Amino acid sequence: MRDRSFRQTEKGKGHGPKKSLGQNFLIDPNITRCMVDYAQISERDVVLEIGPGRGMLTREILNSPCSFLHIIEIDKTLAPFLEPLLKRHETRTSLIWADVLTVNLKELSPSPTKVLANIPYNITTPLIWQILEHLAPMGTKELVLMLQLDLAERLCAKPGTKDRSPLGITIERMGQVQIAKKVPPSVFWPAPKVESAIVQILLDKNYDLASKRPWRRLLKVAFARRRKTLMNNLACVYDFFKDREQAYGLLKELGLSPTVRAEELNADDWQRLYEHILTL
Protein backbone atom coordinates (compact mmCIF):
# COMPACT_ATOMS: atom_id res chain seq x y z
CA MET A 1 0.00 0.00 0.00
CA ARG A 2 2.87 2.39 0.76
CA ASP A 3 4.26 2.04 -2.79
CA ARG A 4 0.84 2.48 -4.46
CA SER A 5 0.01 5.53 -2.32
CA PHE A 6 3.33 7.14 -3.17
CA ARG A 7 2.86 6.68 -6.90
CA GLN A 8 -0.69 8.05 -6.76
CA THR A 9 0.45 11.11 -4.82
CA GLU A 10 3.27 11.87 -7.25
CA LYS A 11 1.27 11.10 -10.42
CA GLY A 12 1.56 13.81 -13.04
CA LYS A 13 4.63 15.55 -11.65
CA GLY A 14 6.63 14.63 -14.74
CA HIS A 15 9.23 12.24 -13.48
CA GLY A 16 9.48 8.49 -13.15
CA PRO A 17 12.57 6.57 -12.04
CA LYS A 18 15.19 6.27 -14.78
CA LYS A 19 16.75 2.85 -15.11
CA SER A 20 19.74 4.34 -16.96
CA LEU A 21 20.63 6.33 -13.83
CA GLY A 22 19.98 3.46 -11.42
CA GLN A 23 17.19 5.41 -9.73
CA ASN A 24 15.30 3.66 -6.93
CA PHE A 25 13.58 6.32 -4.84
CA LEU A 26 13.21 5.85 -1.09
CA ILE A 27 9.51 5.89 -0.21
CA ASP A 28 9.58 4.95 3.48
CA PRO A 29 10.12 7.94 5.81
CA ASN A 30 11.06 5.58 8.64
CA ILE A 31 14.19 4.60 6.70
CA THR A 32 15.25 8.18 6.02
CA ARG A 33 14.75 9.00 9.69
CA CYS A 34 16.95 6.02 10.57
CA MET A 35 19.73 7.31 8.32
CA VAL A 36 19.62 10.78 9.88
CA ASP A 37 19.46 9.31 13.39
CA TYR A 38 22.57 7.18 12.74
CA ALA A 39 24.42 10.27 11.53
CA GLN A 40 23.70 12.16 14.79
CA ILE A 41 23.85 15.49 12.98
CA SER A 42 24.66 18.53 15.12
CA GLU A 43 24.64 22.26 14.47
CA ARG A 44 28.37 22.05 13.71
CA ASP A 45 27.88 19.63 10.82
CA VAL A 46 28.02 20.41 7.14
CA VAL A 47 26.28 17.60 5.26
CA LEU A 48 26.70 16.42 1.67
CA GLU A 49 23.79 14.50 0.15
CA ILE A 50 24.36 12.70 -3.15
CA GLY A 51 21.48 11.67 -5.40
CA PRO A 52 18.54 13.14 -3.43
CA GLY A 53 15.93 11.93 -5.91
CA ARG A 54 12.60 13.44 -4.92
CA GLY A 55 13.93 14.75 -1.64
CA MET A 56 12.68 12.33 0.99
CA LEU A 57 16.06 12.05 2.72
CA THR A 58 16.70 15.75 2.02
CA ARG A 59 13.67 16.73 4.10
CA GLU A 60 14.92 14.71 7.06
CA ILE A 61 18.39 16.26 6.84
CA LEU A 62 16.89 19.75 6.73
CA ASN A 63 14.85 18.91 9.83
CA SER A 64 18.14 18.28 11.62
CA PRO A 65 20.23 21.10 13.11
CA CYS A 66 22.93 20.89 10.40
CA SER A 67 24.53 24.23 9.60
CA PHE A 68 24.67 23.64 5.83
CA LEU A 69 23.59 21.08 3.24
CA HIS A 70 25.28 20.50 -0.13
CA ILE A 71 23.26 18.48 -2.66
CA ILE A 72 24.55 16.93 -5.88
CA GLU A 73 22.03 15.53 -8.37
CA ILE A 74 22.53 14.56 -12.02
CA ASP A 75 18.87 14.52 -13.11
CA LYS A 76 17.48 18.02 -13.73
CA THR A 77 13.97 16.66 -14.27
CA LEU A 78 13.85 16.36 -10.48
CA ALA A 79 13.93 20.16 -10.14
CA PRO A 80 10.14 20.44 -9.42
CA PHE A 81 10.68 18.27 -6.34
CA LEU A 82 13.96 19.71 -5.07
CA GLU A 83 13.97 23.43 -5.85
CA PRO A 84 10.79 24.37 -3.89
CA LEU A 85 12.08 22.38 -0.93
CA LEU A 86 15.47 24.08 -0.96
CA LYS A 87 14.02 27.53 -1.51
CA ARG A 88 12.58 27.35 2.00
CA HIS A 89 16.12 26.76 3.29
CA GLU A 90 18.13 28.80 0.79
CA THR A 91 20.48 30.32 3.38
CA ARG A 92 21.85 26.91 4.34
CA THR A 93 21.66 24.87 1.14
CA SER A 94 23.47 24.54 -2.17
CA LEU A 95 22.32 22.45 -5.15
CA ILE A 96 24.72 21.31 -7.87
CA TRP A 97 23.26 19.74 -11.02
CA ALA A 98 26.05 17.38 -12.11
CA ASP A 99 27.34 13.84 -12.26
CA VAL A 100 28.96 13.51 -8.85
CA LEU A 101 31.86 11.52 -10.32
CA THR A 102 32.86 14.63 -12.30
CA VAL A 103 32.60 17.07 -9.38
CA ASN A 104 35.72 18.24 -7.56
CA LEU A 105 34.44 17.58 -4.04
CA LYS A 106 37.44 19.36 -2.56
CA GLU A 107 35.98 22.66 -3.80
CA LEU A 108 32.78 22.37 -1.76
CA SER A 109 32.62 25.23 0.73
CA PRO A 110 32.04 24.90 3.58
CA SER A 111 33.68 21.48 3.54
CA PRO A 112 31.36 18.58 4.48
CA THR A 113 31.81 16.84 7.79
CA LYS A 114 29.28 14.10 6.99
CA VAL A 115 27.94 12.42 3.85
CA LEU A 116 24.46 10.90 3.56
CA ALA A 117 23.29 9.24 0.38
CA ASN A 118 21.05 6.68 -1.24
CA ILE A 119 23.69 5.76 -3.80
CA PRO A 120 22.84 4.39 -7.26
CA TYR A 121 24.27 0.89 -7.23
CA ASN A 122 26.13 1.31 -10.53
CA ILE A 123 28.49 4.00 -9.13
CA THR A 124 28.88 2.86 -5.54
CA THR A 125 32.52 1.74 -5.51
CA PRO A 126 34.06 4.64 -7.47
CA LEU A 127 31.97 7.12 -5.50
CA ILE A 128 33.12 5.86 -2.10
CA TRP A 129 36.73 5.96 -3.32
CA GLN A 130 36.16 9.56 -4.45
CA ILE A 131 34.71 10.56 -1.08
CA LEU A 132 37.59 8.95 0.80
CA GLU A 133 40.20 10.49 -1.48
CA HIS A 134 38.81 14.02 -1.73
CA LEU A 135 36.79 14.63 1.43
CA ALA A 136 38.44 12.64 4.23
CA PRO A 137 41.55 14.89 4.18
CA MET A 138 39.23 17.93 4.23
CA GLY A 139 37.45 16.90 7.44
CA THR A 140 34.71 14.43 6.51
CA LYS A 141 34.44 12.03 9.43
CA GLU A 142 31.27 10.01 8.78
CA LEU A 143 29.37 8.43 5.90
CA VAL A 144 25.86 7.00 6.22
CA LEU A 145 25.03 5.30 2.93
CA MET A 146 22.28 3.16 1.49
CA LEU A 147 24.04 0.40 -0.44
CA GLN A 148 23.25 -2.91 -2.09
CA LEU A 149 23.58 -5.56 0.63
CA ASP A 150 26.22 -7.64 -1.12
CA LEU A 151 28.49 -4.61 -1.49
CA ALA A 152 27.89 -3.65 2.13
CA GLU A 153 29.02 -7.14 3.14
CA ARG A 154 32.16 -6.79 1.01
CA LEU A 155 33.06 -3.54 2.76
CA CYS A 156 32.79 -5.34 6.12
CA ALA A 157 34.52 -8.57 5.04
CA LYS A 158 37.10 -10.00 7.43
CA PRO A 159 40.56 -11.36 6.49
CA GLY A 160 40.42 -14.82 4.94
CA THR A 161 37.00 -14.36 3.32
CA LYS A 162 36.30 -14.22 -0.41
CA ASP A 163 34.59 -10.81 -0.10
CA ARG A 164 37.77 -9.05 1.07
CA SER A 165 38.44 -6.05 -1.18
CA PRO A 166 40.82 -3.08 -1.63
CA LEU A 167 38.08 -0.62 -0.66
CA GLY A 168 37.16 -2.54 2.48
CA ILE A 169 40.83 -2.77 3.53
CA THR A 170 41.31 0.96 2.99
CA ILE A 171 38.27 1.80 5.11
CA GLU A 172 39.60 -0.53 7.82
CA ARG A 173 42.90 1.39 7.84
CA MET A 174 41.02 4.72 8.00
CA GLY A 175 38.36 3.87 10.57
CA GLN A 176 35.46 1.49 11.06
CA VAL A 177 32.53 0.26 8.98
CA GLN A 178 29.35 -1.52 10.01
CA ILE A 179 26.03 -2.58 8.56
CA ALA A 180 23.64 -0.54 10.69
CA LYS A 181 20.40 -1.91 9.25
CA LYS A 182 19.31 -4.29 6.50
CA VAL A 183 16.60 -2.87 4.26
CA PRO A 184 14.02 -4.77 2.16
CA PRO A 185 13.26 -3.89 -1.49
CA SER A 186 9.78 -2.67 -0.52
CA VAL A 187 11.10 0.66 0.84
CA PHE A 188 12.05 1.74 -2.71
CA TRP A 189 10.16 2.68 -5.85
CA PRO A 190 10.65 0.79 -8.05
CA ALA A 191 11.55 -2.10 -5.77
CA PRO A 192 14.97 -3.50 -6.69
CA LYS A 193 15.54 -7.22 -7.04
CA VAL A 194 18.10 -7.24 -4.21
CA GLU A 195 18.25 -6.36 -0.54
CA SER A 196 19.94 -3.19 0.62
CA ALA A 197 21.60 -1.98 3.80
CA ILE A 198 22.35 1.23 5.65
CA VAL A 199 26.11 1.33 6.12
CA GLN A 200 27.88 3.59 8.59
CA ILE A 201 31.54 4.46 8.00
CA LEU A 202 33.44 6.36 10.70
CA LEU A 203 36.81 7.86 9.78
CA ASP A 204 39.24 8.58 12.60
CA LYS A 205 42.79 8.05 11.26
CA ASN A 206 44.99 7.96 8.14
CA TYR A 207 42.76 10.56 6.51
CA ASP A 208 44.92 10.88 3.39
CA LEU A 209 45.46 7.15 2.79
CA ALA A 210 42.98 6.82 -0.10
CA SER A 211 44.73 9.66 -1.94
CA LYS A 212 48.12 7.91 -1.89
CA ARG A 213 48.86 6.43 -5.32
CA PRO A 214 51.32 3.75 -4.09
CA TRP A 215 48.72 2.42 -1.61
CA ARG A 216 46.00 2.24 -4.26
CA ARG A 217 48.37 0.58 -6.74
CA LEU A 218 49.56 -2.00 -4.20
CA LEU A 219 46.02 -3.12 -3.50
CA LYS A 220 45.02 -3.09 -7.16
CA VAL A 221 47.96 -5.30 -8.14
CA ALA A 222 47.57 -7.61 -5.14
CA PHE A 223 43.90 -8.32 -5.95
CA ALA A 224 44.26 -8.28 -9.74
CA ARG A 225 44.21 -12.08 -9.99
CA ARG A 226 42.50 -13.47 -6.91
CA ARG A 227 43.38 -17.10 -7.62
CA LYS A 228 47.09 -16.26 -7.68
CA THR A 229 49.23 -15.90 -4.57
CA LEU A 230 50.17 -12.46 -3.34
CA MET A 231 53.80 -13.13 -4.25
CA ASN A 232 52.92 -14.05 -7.84
CA ASN A 233 50.80 -10.94 -8.27
CA LEU A 234 53.40 -8.60 -6.82
CA ALA A 235 56.32 -10.20 -8.65
CA CYS A 236 54.65 -9.47 -11.99
CA VAL A 237 54.90 -5.72 -11.42
CA TYR A 238 58.46 -4.61 -11.92
CA ASP A 239 58.08 -1.20 -10.27
CA PHE A 240 57.52 -3.07 -6.98
CA PHE A 241 60.11 -5.85 -7.22
CA LYS A 242 62.86 -6.58 -9.72
CA ASP A 243 62.24 -10.31 -9.55
CA ARG A 244 60.37 -13.12 -7.81
CA GLU A 245 63.17 -13.69 -5.30
CA GLN A 246 62.93 -10.13 -3.99
CA ALA A 247 59.18 -10.52 -3.48
CA TYR A 248 59.74 -13.81 -1.66
CA GLY A 249 62.37 -12.20 0.56
CA LEU A 250 60.10 -9.38 1.63
CA LEU A 251 57.20 -11.67 2.47
CA LYS A 252 59.53 -13.86 4.49
CA GLU A 253 60.86 -10.80 6.35
CA LEU A 254 57.30 -9.82 7.24
CA GLY A 255 56.50 -13.32 8.46
CA LEU A 256 54.08 -14.01 5.60
CA SER A 257 53.86 -17.31 3.75
CA PRO A 258 54.91 -17.28 0.08
CA THR A 259 51.58 -19.00 -0.67
CA VAL A 260 49.42 -16.39 1.09
CA ARG A 261 46.70 -14.72 -0.97
CA ALA A 262 45.77 -11.05 -0.76
CA GLU A 263 42.42 -11.75 0.90
CA GLU A 264 44.16 -13.43 3.86
CA LEU A 265 46.13 -10.40 5.07
CA ASN A 266 44.79 -8.27 7.91
CA ALA A 267 44.94 -4.47 8.01
CA ASP A 268 48.23 -4.43 9.96
CA ASP A 269 49.84 -6.80 7.42
CA TRP A 270 48.88 -4.42 4.61
CA GLN A 271 50.32 -1.45 6.45
CA ARG A 272 53.63 -3.22 7.06
CA LEU A 273 53.80 -4.39 3.44
CA TYR A 274 53.05 -0.88 2.20
CA GLU A 275 55.71 0.71 4.42
CA HIS A 276 58.35 -1.79 3.25
CA ILE A 277 57.53 -1.29 -0.43
CA LEU A 278 57.93 2.47 -0.03
CA THR A 279 61.54 1.88 1.08
CA LEU A 280 62.50 -0.23 -1.94
Confidence at 25, pLDDT banded by 50, 70, 90: confident
Instruction: Please indicate, yes or no, whether residues 44 and 140 belong to a single structural domain of this protein.
Output: yes
30 annotated as ligand-binding: no
Cα 9 to Cα 164: distance, rounded to the nearest angstrom? 43
Show Cβ contacts of residue 29 under 8 Å, excluding neighbours closer than 6 positions: 56, 60
Q: What is the pTM of this model?
A: 0.91
Instruction: Give the end of a domain, one of 206, 239, 256.
Output: 206
104 annotated as ligand-binding: no
Q: What is the mean pLDDT of residues 34-50?
A: 98
Q: Which domain holds residue 229?
A: 212-279
**Predicted local confidence at residue 280, as pLDDT:** 73
Instruction: Please indicate, yes or no, whether residues 98 and 159 belong to a single structural domain of this protein.
Output: yes
73 annotated as ligand-binding: yes
24 annotated as ligand-binding: yes
245 annotated as ligand-binding: no
Instruction: Please indicate, yes or no, whether residues 144 and 236 belong to a single structural domain of this protein.
Output: no
Instruction: Please indicate, yes or no, whether residues 159 and 238 belong to a single structural domain of this protein.
Output: no
**Predicted local confidence at residue 7, as pLDDT:** 46
26 annotated as ligand-binding: yes
Are the C-beta atoms of 101 and 130 separated by less than 8 Å?
yes
Show Cβ contacts of residue 273 under 8 Å, excluding neighbours closer than 6 positions: 218, 250, 254, 256, 265
